[in-house]
Amino acid sequence: MVTAPVPGPALPGVPAGAAPLRLRGRTFGPDRPVVMAVVNRTPDSFYAAARFSDGTVDAAVDRAVADGADLLDVGGVRAGRGPAVDEAEEIARVVPVVERVRRRHPDLLVSVDTWRATVARAAADAGADLLNDTWAGHDPGLVEVAAERGLGVVCSHTGGATPRTDPWRTTYAAADGTDPLDGVVQDVVATLTAAAARAVALGVDPASVLVDATLDFGKTTWHSLHLLRTTPQVVGIGHPVLMALSRKDVVGETLGLPPDERLEGTLAATAVAAWLGARVFRAHDVAATRRTLDMVAAVRGELAPWSSVRGTA
């Protein structure tokens, strides 16, 4: 393996990378794009292969670690519409997994995907490192839990959509009255800037505050595609950028494919977002995502090749 230092990007037009991520005292810079492995404890997840029961979740975690995951994201409630799941049931689905991961993989960072402060507090007690609030501060107490417990937090954007709802004829108006698609970018940047500032003001480490444009949530596919291509504007907020692209409807509607056929589209979008400076990638397919991100980092000049013998003998 090549161990020589790698210079920063020297080519013109290479976008600046996002700020480094820091969780539990560990810092991830440009040479280590972060893979967040999805582990759903939801029997109705939109992607059947990511539904893990009590009997299969440990093997799923082991596989994610072996495939190169840096961070595990455990969820107990489907993001979209479905049967109601109360706080007690969500805690019962999520907290035992966090506890087992902490025992079996003490160095693995753990995130919990929830919008409820009560669930966040129980997850913190179990050893979680990050609170992935995919519903944009619907429960304002969640970020307070992150600050009190020294955890990281994800600030997301839903355009005002409430938990477990699907977008309906969603529109955003550009402030200058020009391209309507610019309106969603302006709304995302303003919302995430304010949410991140509140988290920092409460005491969350700025390097532990992630911002997520949250594609699909409160957005049409046109909105999500535009946000993907304008990733540098989200990077410019100054916090590590999370991209949750994996097998989402933005990929499926763009290519006309069901969830189980969206891997190539997901990896293409992942490569674009990584090139444009995103830092953390929530993924169902850990090994493929790890390889994609490492290749992009090498092309950007941020990661050395695993070996470099061709043409040297």
Chunked into runs of 10 residues, the chain (313 residues) has average pLDDT values of 49 77 96 95 76 82 96 92 91 96 96 98 98 95 98 96 86 80 95 98 98 96 97 97 97 97 98 96 97 96 92 83
Domain count, the chain: 1
Domain range for residue 230? 32-300
Q: Is residue 313 part of a domain?
A: no
Closest C-alpha to 60, from 68, 45, 50? 50
pLDDT at 10 (0 to 100): 52
Closest C-alpha to 241, from 19, 52, 36, 29? 19
Closest C-alpha to 72, from 114, 96, 40? 40
Q: Is residue 105 part of a domain?
A: yes
pLDDT at 30 (0 to 100): 92
Q: Is residue 146 part of a domain?
A: yes
Strands across the sheet with 152-156, in order? 209-212, 152-156, 130-132, 109-113, 71-75, 34-40, 280-283, 242-244
CA-to-CA distance for 41 and 32, rounded, in angstroms?
Answer: 28
Q: Is residue 23 part of a domain?
A: no
268-273: long-range pairs with CB below 8 Å, 24+: 269/228, 269/245, 270/243, 270/245, 271/295, 271/296, 272/228, 272/229, 272/231, 273/228, 273/231, 273/243, 273/245
- HSE-CB of 299 using CA atoms within 13 angstroms: 15
Residue with tokens 């304002």: 140
Q: Is residue 16 part of a domain?
A: no
Secondary structure (DSSP) of 71-136: EEEEE-S-SSS-S---HHHHHHHHHHHHHHHHHH-TTSEEEEE-S-HHHHHHHHHHT--EEE-TTT
Compute CA 211 distance to the chain's CA centroid, rounded to the nearest angstrom.
9
Q: Is residue 44 part of a domain?
A: yes
Closest C-alpha to 292, from 259, 265, 268, 261? 268
The answer to whether 130 and 154 are in contact (CB under 8 A) is yes
pLDDT at 9 (0 to 100): 46
Q: Is residue 135 part of a domain?
A: yes
- Torsion angle, CA of 40/96/98/251, rounded to 10 degrees? 0
**Domain of 83: which CATH number?**
3.20.20.20
- Torsion angle, CA of 209/211/217/223, rounded to 10 degrees? 170
pLDDT at 1 (0 to 100): 47
Q: Is residue 62 part of a domain?
A: yes
pLDDT at 211 (0 to 100): 98
Closest C-alpha to 277, from 223, 212, 214, 231? 231
Note if the pTM is more than 0.85: yes
